[in-house]
Copies of this chain bind each other. A is one copy, B any other.
Amino acid sequence: MHEENETARIEAFSDGVFAIAITLLVLEIRVPSHESVAASGLARTLVALWPSYLAFFTSFVMILVVWVQHHWIFTQVRKADHLVLYWNGLLLFVVTFIPFPTGLLAEYLLHPEARVAASLYTGNFLLVTLVFHGLWRHVSKGGRLLAANAISSNRDEAARITKHYQLAPLLYLAVFVLSFISEIASIVSCLLLAFHFALRGWPTSAT
């Protein structure tokens, strides 16, 4: 079996999972019940749903960034061994899980126990960066699985990715810690980091 086809298949399947996960997020924003609308009007009820919109938007941007970064890593990979499959499966697992903490945060951000929801939410993203770290560490170790051009001319690119995946978990760890102090601040930090990371891994030749 041709190895490039193998990584292409992993990428296509993963892209499918990312596209579905990002589109399912909207199902967590519930159409308000007639009771709540009767109590305070439709417009005010919709405004009061702002935690749902914030959670939806933040998770949307995060999954979009995961899609870009997943591709970034796989542009450097020539062949996939069994551990790549395991690491990639683990990544898909933590990404498909995202709609649950998103729905939880939307429901409980204004609740006295919002801290629990926010720490699960930011903790999930911390896990995503840790799995990315592990995946990249495995494929780049010794250059055995890297594409030839990744080893020669693109060595700088591999070094950039390595640096990126050493930094990202530390930043999301800080966000996770922040979630115990201020829920809103931790969500906004998640969003800002996602915007910052959105472009990492996109070919610089096109800038």
Contact B202 A31 (CB under 8 A): no
- A interface secondary structure, majority: helix
Interface residues of A in 17-67 (CB under 8 A from B): 17-29, 31-32, 34, 37, 41-43, 46, 56-57, 60-61, 64, 67
Interface residues of A in 87-121 (CB under 8 A from B): 89, 92-93, 96-100, 103-104, 106-108, 111, 113, 116-117, 120
Contact B13 A15 (CB under 8 A): yes
Contact size class for A? 35 or more
Flag whether A138 is at the interface (Cβ < 8 A). no
| Closest chain B CB from A2 CB (angstroms) | 9
Flag whether A75 is at the interface (Cβ < 8 A). yes
- Residue of B27, B61, B64, B117 touching A27 (CB-CB under 8 A): B27
- Residue of B6, B18, B203 touching A203 (CB-CB under 8 A): B6
- Nearest to A79 among chain B residues (CB) is B206
Contact B31 A198 (CB under 8 A): no
Identify 27 residue pairs between A and B in the complex whose beta-carbon atoms are under 8 Å apart, listed by A's number: A3-B206, A13-B15, A13-B67, A15-B16, A16-B19, A16-B20, A20-B20, A20-B23, A20-B24, A21-B23, A24-B24, A24-B27, A26-B96, A26-B97, A31-B103, A34-B111, A37-B111, A42-B113, A42-B116, A46-B104, A46-B120, A60-B93, A64-B92, A80-B206, A82-B199, A85-B198, A86-B198
